[in-house]
Amino acid sequence: MTMKAFWTSKLVVLLLATAVPAWSADGLIKLTSSNSPAVTMDRLQAIVTEKGMKVFARINHATGAAKIGKTLRPTELLIFGNPQGGTPFMVCAQTVGIDLPIKVLVWEDAAGKVWLGYNDPAYIAKRHGVSDCKVVPKMTGALENFARYATSQ
């Protein structure tokens, strides 16, 4: 391998590593946010509402912790959905209903970094044995767009 090819491959790996969200084997997609936890969640709630989703709940886990005398860094969960996306997913496998409506968590880690995380629809589909369900790509794209909007400035 030439030196130029070596450095080109290193650059490609670096670019790919910084261009895609982080995820783990358990299907959790995580993105870092440029905003505070509250602003990230406010932006997420605004975009999902604008796109016709119903927000079922916004749960502030830190507030809940404070009620029992415990301290928890900012941690909020937004639960939302739309029958137009969820129903076709459940038609593929009714057990998908255990993973719906969609849940997105925003939290601040010990280093002060803000994260947004959600379950990958492809992982959910695989979990329920319906990897070929036609709604998955559209749902994946929508969640990616919502997450990118919420985490950008």
Whole-number Cα distances in Å, 9 to 4, 39, 63, 89: 9, 37, 47, 39
Q: In total, how many domains does the chain have?
A: 1
pLDDT score, position 1: 58
Q: Does residue 80 form part of some domain?
A: yes
Q: Does residue 105 form part of some domain?
A: yes
Question: Do residues 48 and 72 make contact, with C-beta atoms less than 8 angstroms apart?
Answer: no
Q: Does residue 12 form part of some domain?
A: no
Q: Does residue 5 form part of some domain?
A: no
Structure tokens at 115: 């994260």
Give the pLDDT confidence of 10-23 residue by residue, as tens digits.
433 333 333 345 55
Q: Does residue 122 form part of some domain?
A: yes
Q: Does residue 17 form part of some domain?
A: no
Count helices and strands in the chain by DSSP H and E runs: 6, 6
Q: Does residue 16 form part of some domain?
A: no
- Give the domain range for residue 132: 22-151
- Residue indicated by tokens 């968590």: 105
Question: Do residues 45 and 78 make contact, with C-beta atoms less than 8 angstroms apart?
Answer: yes
What is the reported pTM?
Answer: 0.83
pLDDT score, position 16: 36
Q: Does residue 115 form part of some domain?
A: yes
Q: The CATH number of the domain where 48 resides is what?
A: 3.30.310.70
Give the pLDDT confidence of 59-88 residue by residue, as tens digits.
999 999 999 999 999 999 999 999 999 999
pLDDT level of residue 24 (50, 70, 90 thresholds): low
